[in-house]
């Protein structure tokens, strides 16, 4: 097997197409539910992944001239003074060439690189629970450093009946896009000030309008769903979904912010469903909704969070768990016998 560093600045169109075909094949096998990146998106991502702060190198492994594996290797330059210096890697072996030691051989090469760069640890992110990647990293002695939950819902496959939750009595729901309608502006400003602290210039109508104008100029797209308390007309809860335009249009709802005194009324659960209902009705261009990709550093934190993920799962979201795993460079080198191929 031959290893080579992919020369992104000098690569020809044919070389980019070959790397893209390998990436698409791996994606379709390991993440069939995700849209594979277009050639342009992949080229841009790889070109932009090296910045003044970090260097990203794409390595390729070939057998008889054909790509059988690829690995991304990233080092940050600004961590020289840190107690722990980390190299970040991902490895993808061709689906038909797995369990033949190729991933482990690649790791040996990346370990040698990490030692050459004076790194203490190797970190692998995006390791999906229950997959070959988890089995591989566990076998090699990596340990989880954080866990991320991701919940996704493909709109075309959704069961709309699951979202049919009534609005609790005494409340009504309104929605808007990037700009809050004039009739709700002052109430929205009071709501922001209540949720985020005492009244402040940041929550003044003019400041809100300026931020909206800036967002619109930057191409921001969003759906905001708000709950109005009918007795006094005040806004008491909101949930905003940022809408990202890529190969597919994906909505990313943020957390629900609820005013004290309106908790335990079922508003949070209803808002989760209402965002989906309004996206389906008003934004049929949204293909997927992705929620809650926050990191947990202790297993207990994740366990405590599980009841919240169940609320969302009940609306049809599929829950995925991803691990970031780490291991010491010396420990791995000793276990594997690090060597740098010619
Ligand atoms: C994870 C991955 C890189 C492993 O590459 P590989 O070349 O198949 O792994 P190796 O042959 O070096 O495996 C070494 C050991 O890891 C463990 N292992 C690897 N895949 C496994 C699987 N599917 N099930 C159980 N154990 C597995 C085994 O202990 C294996 O030894 P064995 O075959 O003698 O039992 C590969 O499966 C892959 O590309 N997965 C998808 C991409 C991915 O998720 N990458 C993110 C993580 S970097």
- Separation of CA 98 and ligand 1 centre (Å): 6
Q: Which atom of ligand 1 is nearest to the CA of 69?
A: 39
Which residue out of 88, 103, 123 has the highest number of ligand 1 atoms within 8 Å of its CB and is therefore the one to mutate? Answer: 103
| 342 pLDDT more than 60 | no
Q: How far, CA to CA in Å, does 69 sit from each of 31, 60, 110? A: 16, 6, 13
- Separation of CA 89 and ligand 1 centre (Å): 15
Take residue 263 and report the two structure tokens written for it: 């908790």
| 247 pLDDT more than 90 | no
Judging by beta carbons within 10 Å of its beta carbon (0-12, 13-18, 19+), is residue 113 exposed, middle or buried?
Answer: buried
Q: What three-state secondary structure class fits 158?
A: coil
Q: Smallest Cα–Cα separation from 274: which of 200, 185, 174?
A: 174
Angle at 183 between CA 180 and CA 188, to 5 degrees: 50
| 326 pLDDT more than 90 | yes
- Separation of CA 26 and ligand 1 centre (Å): 13
Using one digit for the tens of pLDDT, what is the confidence trace for 256-305? Answer: 889 988 988 899 999 999 999 999 999 999 999 998 767 777 777 777 77
> Would you say 123 and 324 are in contact if contact means Cβ atoms under 8 Å apart?
yes
According to the model, what pLDDT value does residue 341 have? 45
Band of residue 177 on the pLDDT scale cut at 50, 70, 90: very high
Strands 143-154 and 295-296: antiparallel
Q: In the chain, which residue ranges form alpha helices assigned H by DSSP? A: 13-30, 39-48, 102-116, 132-140, 182-196, 205-217, 267-282, 299-313, 329-336
- Separation of CA 213 and ligand 1 centre (Å): 49
> Would you say 260 and 195 are in contact if contact means Cβ atoms under 8 Å apart?
no
For a pLDDT cut of 90, what percent of the chain falls above it?
Answer: 72
Cα 256 to the center of its chain, rounded Å = 19
The residue contributing the CA closest to ligand 1 atom 23 is 132
Q: What three-state secondary structure class fits 190?
A: helix
Q: Smallest Cα–Cα separation from 156: which of 288, 312, 282, 274?
A: 288
> Would you say 4 and 342 are in contact if contact means Cβ atoms under 8 Å apart?
no
According to the model, what pLDDT value does residue 303 have? 75
Q: Where in the chain is the domain with CATH 3.40.630.30?
A: 2-151+323-336, 159-298
More confident residue, 18 or 247: 18
What distance in Å separates the CA atoms of residue 298 and residue 317, rounded to the nearest whole number? Answer: 24
The residue contributing the CA closest to ligand 1 atom 26 is 135
| 340 pLDDT more than 60 | no
- Separation of CA 102 and ligand 1 centre (Å): 9
Q: Smallest Cα–Cα separation from 70: which of 100, 115, 102?
A: 102
What is the second-level CATH architecture of the domain 159-298? 3-Layer(aba) Sandwich (3.40)
* DSSP category for residue 342: -
Q: What three-state secondary structure class fits 118?
A: coil
Q: How far, CA to CA in Å, does 20 sit from each of 31, 37, 41, 65? A: 15, 8, 10, 16
Using one digit for the tens of pLDDT, what is the confidence trace for 214-237? Answer: 999 999 999 999 999 999 999 999
- Separation of CA 129 and ligand 1 centre (Å): 13
More confident residue, 83 or 316: 316
What distance in Å separates the CA atoms of residue 88 and residue 194, rounded to the nearest whole number? Answer: 41
According to the model, what pLDDT value does residue 198 have? 67
Q: What three-state secondary structure class fits 255?
A: coil
Residues with CB under 6 A from ligand 1: 30, 90-93, 98-104, 124, 126-127, 131-133, 135-136, 139
Average pLDDT over residues 326-340: 84
Q: What is the pTM of this model?
A: 0.79
Q: Please list the residues that pair with 56 across neighbouring strands.
A: 74
Angle between helices 299-313 and 267-282 (to 10 degrees): 60
Q: Which atom of ligand 1 is nearest to the CA of 90?
A: 48
- Separation of CA 46 and ligand 1 centre (Å): 24
Which residue out of 1, 58, 97, 132 has the highest number of ligand 1 atoms within 8 Å of its CB and is therefore the one to mutate? Answer: 132
| 338 pLDDT more than 80 | no
Q: According to CATH, what is the number of the domain 2-151+323-336?
A: 3.40.630.30
Q: Smallest Cα–Cα separation from 247: which of 288, 278, 213?
A: 288
């Amino acid at each position: 097997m031959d290893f080579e560093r992919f020369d992104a600045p000098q690569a020809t169109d044919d070389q980019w197409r070959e790397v893209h075909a390998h990436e698409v094949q791996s994606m379709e096998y390991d993440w069939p539910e995700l849209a594979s990146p277009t050639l342009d998106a992949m080229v841009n991502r790889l070109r932009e992944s090296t910045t003044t702060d970090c260097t990203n190198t794409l390595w390729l492994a070939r057998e008889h001239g054909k790509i059988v594996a690829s690995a991304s290797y990233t080092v940050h330059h600004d961590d020289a003074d840190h107690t722990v210096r980390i190299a970040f890697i991902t490895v993808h072996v061709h689906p038909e060439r797995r369990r033949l030691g190729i991933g482990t051989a690649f790791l040996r090469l990346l370990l040698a690189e990490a030692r050459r760069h004076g790194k203490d640890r190797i970190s692998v992110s995006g390791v999906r629970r229950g997959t070959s990647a988890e089995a591989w990293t566990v076998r090699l002695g990596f340990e989880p450093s954080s866990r991320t939950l991701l919940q996704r819902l493909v709109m075309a496959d959704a069961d709309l009946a699951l979202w049919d939750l009534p609005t609790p009595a005494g409340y009504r729901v309104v929605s808007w896009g990037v700009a809050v309608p004039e009739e709700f502006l002052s109430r929205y400003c009071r709501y922001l000030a209540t949720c985020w602290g005492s009244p402040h210039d940041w929550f003044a109508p003019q400041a809100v309008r300026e931020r909206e104008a800036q967002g619109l100029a930057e191409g921001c797209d969003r759906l905001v769903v708000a709950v109005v308390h009918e007795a006094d007309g005040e806004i008491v809860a909101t949930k905003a979904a940022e809408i990202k335009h890529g190969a597919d249009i994906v909505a990313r709802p943020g957390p629900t912010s609820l005013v004290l005194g309106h908790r335990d009324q079922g508003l949070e659960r209803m808002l989760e469903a209402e965002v989906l209902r309004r996206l389906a009705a008003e934004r049929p261009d949204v293909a997927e909704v992705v929620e809650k990709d926050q990191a947990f550093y202790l297993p207990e934190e994740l366990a405590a969070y599980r009841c919240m993920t169940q609320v969302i799962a009940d609306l049809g979201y599929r829950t995925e768990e991803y691990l970031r795993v780490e291991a010491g460079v010396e420990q791995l080198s000793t276990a594997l016998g690090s060597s740098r191929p010619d």
